[in-house]
Structure 1
Amino acid sequence: MAKSELTAEMLHDLRKQYESAPESSILERAVTQNGINNVAKDKDIKTKLNPVFSVEVETGNVSNQKRSGRCWLFSILNTLKHRFAKKYNVKNFELSQNYLFFWDKIERANIFYDRMIATAGLPTNDRTVSFYLDGPGTDGGQWAMAASLVQKYGVMPTSAFSETNVSENTTDLNEVLNLKLRRDGMKLREMVNNDATDEDINVAREKMLSEVYRIAGYSLGVPPKTFDFEYRDDKKKYHLDCNLTPKSFYAKYFSDVDLNDYVVLSNSPDKAMNKRYSMSAQNNVVGGINIEFLNLTMPELKTAAIDQLKSGETVWFGNDVTRQLSRKEGLLDANLYHYDELFNLNLSMTKAERLAYKQGEVSHAMTLTGVDLVNDKPTKWKVENSWGDKNGFNGYFVMADNWMDEYVYEVVINKKFLTDSQRELLSLAPEELKPWDSLA
């Protein structure tokens, strides 16, 4: 097909078509002065998403990831802190996100070096190598990545290892680590391709890791090996537990949690349903939990999530929070903004089409803490976010069930809430997804 140059005649016709529409003038004034979302917004959605729920897990204050991409860590720690709060009667207890974030930086560098060495024979424009180089020092992650860190390093309360200026705004740290790791990757690839000995490569690699540790330590602090846990519960009773390690603290206070009992149920309709998938290219801990998904229909995800909420346990879920969102009001509804009506366009795409054409992605993780059931059917969901208490209803969002259909891609469910047929699927050998898959 011949190239289509925009000629003066074509530009004239475009302007003529625009000016011939009687609504163009008034809509131009409305949108330019008020913004697209303010004009396209459905005013009735706020009434529809009344924050009252028939099933609700009691929770406390929300956390705040601030200017960082640590939602996946916040969400898993939210699910753990809710269990602690209920068991030990401490409503607003908080676990240290900075602690796991520190170890993620070290582990992520370590596995990145392995990948650079393993792919040294491929060109840098190879799609897999390019994926590894795309953002080796960034913040984002999956549930299994967070679970791997918890299993290996344990957890600690925020009182023992608090946030820093850098953990709350990770832009500069990411820039430094991306530069550092890409340069290290270049050097390791050069060593492999110049036939350096394994010993020399390992010496260089260990030095690189010590330098990453230094960057993380200066920026986030170095986690203490031991700490004392001192608190008052909601009945004002004083507690002191001395000389704990993060792993002993986790083993003692979360003894009823086995993260291996959980599975990620995905709804990715661009792939075959009732299949097990894996994505080892995104693993962050060598020897940790492999990233896997059991791809099911959305009704199956909802049923499992509802059963887990009814049992009193919250649900980690992955979603595309940037779509159809009112951040300040804490509203999520698939019909919140009527862009198609405003611009007189057909903007419809199926969930599978959005994933295939990069309009859909798993961009955020949050926590389901409640659901409103009408005739046993969900109408809206209560969502704990990690954006502080100035957004939504004291930090909690209300998600319409139609938004869940369109923009939720993953829920983390205890295997005991799966059906027998779903459990049988877990015995299937997982199909390895490409590093750049839509669930990445």
Structure 2
Amino acid sequence: MFAGLNLCRVDTRNVLNVKEFEFSQNYLMFWDKLERANFILEAIIETADRPSDDRTVDFLLRNPLSDGGQWDMFTALVAKHGVVPKTSMPETESSANSGRMNASLNYQTRQGAKRIRDAYAKESGLDELRGIKDQTLKVIYDVLCIHLGTPPTEVDWQWKDKDDKFTRSGKLTPLQFAADYLQTDIHDYVSLVHDPRESSPEGATFTVEYLGNVVDAPAIRYLNVDIQLMKDITLKMLEDGKSVWMGCDTGKQMHRDLGLWDADLFDYASVYGADFSMNKAERLEYHQTAMTHAMMFTGVDVVDGVPRRWRVENSWDDKVGNKGFFMMNDSWFAEYMFEIAVPKEYLPPELQKALELEPIVLPAWDPMGSLAG
């Protein structure tokens, strides 16, 4: 959510003509947790006839309310709940350090799942199962209010711009605030991924089973592209003054304090005298790599028309890297970058047409869904 809101705040800041502006990440975190609990419990109802050690049931309950997310999950939240400025729902201790809160939320979600499955085993009907779900969601809502605060139903919005001009918009719902001040057309964006496995052809679209947060929202959808095209589109967007949302395997070949990613940063082969030569497709297939974190490209260093380094805004804090910004060598982009979100207009015509294809359905545990976990 942090990377998605950061992408949007630049356009909003410009239209407001202010030096600083931030959307509330805490607000979307609240609704993401509640919506995801509903999504998971609906999936538990759907799979209630399976044994508890079924691979899908096991996956659903392994880490149900994590902090991750996909681009389409971000847009689904905004479409349903809107956005608010940070001043309307500021950060809390639990929004910055969510571990203890998540432990309680996961407990309640799993306990609700147990009650649903127990009721199904006693041949309870769908209405009773959904009644148990609703009771569980009420508890989860209360836990979220304790940790994150109660989300506002309206925003009393006014501001003074850089020219000292005062403007009062009055009271707006979060959906009205989004309609008036969220200038980035996030619903026109599509997710491009680089999945080099033989089972994932370029130019095909994918979705992942049981990946999402808002029930009845459009399914998560990816378009698989060549890594060079992903670089070219990222470069073009940056040259056009647009930041780029992305997902990658952030922990590999990284120096956290220096804020540096380079595919050859650490020479493990020389240290251990062992082979570390799996390619990207093999690392995906054998669980050695996957998307783990979403961030934002904000700049690029180009020499003779070729990108050399990429500037990344991270969400951890300003005590790492260069005040929270990291430098990504182009070699690292090729090996550990997996996803970007881009406006459709940046795609060549044949790939725009490919978006109309029926997506290949990947299993819930596929690494292409891992950023949500």
TM, length-normalised to structure 2:
0.95
Q: Which residue of 2 aligns with 1:153?
A: 81
Aligned-residue offset at 1:318: 0.2
Asked whether the equivalents of residues 319 and 410 of structure 1 are also in contact (C-alpha less than 8 Å), the reply is yes
Counterpart of 2:244 (choices 315, 323, 340) is 315
Q: Structure 1 counterpart of 2:74, which letter?
A: A
Q: Deviations over 1:336-390 (max 9, x none)?
A: 1111122222211101111111110101110011112222211111111112222
Q: Which residue of 2 aligns with 1:352?
A: 281
Provide the rounded CA distance (Å) in 2 between the counterparts of 1:114 and 1:200: 13
Q: Which residue of 2 aligns with 1:225?
A: 153
Aligned pairs for 1:295-314 (under 5 A) are 295-314=224-243
Q: Which residue of 1 aligns with 2:28?
A: 100
Instruction: Report the aligned-residue RMSD.
Output: 1.4
Q: Deviations over 1:250-304 (max 9, x none)?
A: 10012x4332311110001122222100114111101223211101110111111
Q: Structure 2 counterpart of 1:383, which letter?
A: V
Query: Which stretch of the first structure deviates more once superposed, 236-245 or 299-308?
Result: 236-245
Provide the rounded CA distance (Å) in 2 between the counterparts of 1:350 and 1:229: 52
Aligned-residue offset at 1:127: 0.7
Q: Which residue of 1 aligns with 2:355?
A: 426
Larger C-alpha radius of gyration, 1 or 2? 1
Counterpart of 2:116 (choices 171, 188, 195) is 188
Provide the rounded CA distance (Å) in 2 between the counterparts of 1:257 and 1:290: 21
Question: Secondary structure in 2 aligned to 1:248?
Answer: helix
Q: Deviations over 1:218-252 (max 9, x none)?
A: 11111111122233333444333321111111100
Asked whether the equivalents of residues 204 and 223 of structure 2 are also in contact (C-alpha less than 8 Å), the reply is yes
Question: Secondary structure in 1 aligned to 2:15?
Answer: helix
Q: Structure 2 counterpart of 1:200, which letter?
A: E
Q: Deviations over 1:13-34 (max 9, x none)?
A: xxxxxxxxxxxxxxxxxxxxxx
Asked whether the equivalents of residues 24 and 90 of structure 2 are also in contact (C-alpha less than 8 Å), the reply is yes
Provide the rounded CA distance (Å) in 1 between the counterparts of 2:110 and 2:132: 14
Provide the rounded CA distance (Å) in 1 between the counterparts of 2:341 and 2:209: 18
Provide the rounded CA distance (Å) in 2 between the counterparts of 1:134 and 1:226: 35
Asked whether the equivalents of residues 212 and 219 of structure 2 are also in contact (C-alpha less than 8 Å), the reply is yes
Q: Which residue of 1 aligns with 2:171?
A: 243
Percent identity of the aligned residues? 38
Q: Which residue of 1 aligns with 2:367?
A: 438
Counterpart of 1:324 (choices 247, 253, 257) is 253
Aligned pairs for 1:78-227 (under 5 A) are 78-227=6-155
Q: Structure 2 counterpart of 1:136, which letter?
A: P
Asked whether the equivalents of residues 160 and 229 of structure 1 are also in contact (C-alpha less than 8 Å), the reply is no
Aligned-residue offset at 1:108: 0.8
Q: Which residue of 1 aligns with 2:326?
A: 397
Q: Deviations over 1:385-422 (max 9, x none)?
A: 11222211221111111110001000101000000111
Question: Secondary structure in 2 aligned to 1:428?
Answer: coil
Question: Secondary structure in 1 aligned to 2:365?
Answer: coil
Aligned-residue offset at 1:188: 0.5
Asked whether the equivalents of residues 207 and 359 of structure 2 are also in contact (C-alpha less than 8 Å), the reply is yes
Provide the rounded CA distance (Å) in 1 between the counterparts of 2:80 and 2:135: 23
Q: Which residue of 2 aligns with 1:342?
A: 271
Provide the rounded CA distance (Å) in 1 between the counterparts of 2:239 and 2:82: 27
Q: Count residues in correspondence.
A: 367
